[in-house]
Amino acid sequence: MEIVICALAGACVGEIVRRYTNRLAYRLGPEDTDPAPSEMDLPAPGRRLWMVIVLAATWAVVGWAYWPSAAQVALWLCFSTVALYMAAVDLDVQRLPDRAQLLLAGIVAAGSVWAYWGQGRFVWGLVWALVCAGGFLVVHLLSRGGLGFGDVKLMATCGWILGLNSSAALLLGLMIGCLAAVVFSIVARTRVFAFGPWLLLGTFCGPLVVSYLAN
Question: pLDDT tens across 128-141, in order?
Answer: 999 999 999 999 99
What does the DSSP 8-state code read for residue 195?
-
Distance CA 23, CA 119 (A): 42
Confidence bin at 34 (pLDDT 50/70/90): low
Residue 86, pLDDT score = 97
Tell me: pLDDT of 213 over 90. no
Residue 105, pLDDT score = 96
Cis bond leading into 45, ω under 30°?
A: no
Tell me: pLDDT of 108 over 90. yes
Tell me: pLDDT of 201 over 90. yes
Distance CA 148, CA 45 (A): 21
Distance CA 111, CA 93 (A): 29
- A 10 A CB-CB count for 121 gives 15
Tell me: pLDDT of 212 over 90. no
- Mean pLDDT throughout 39-65? 93
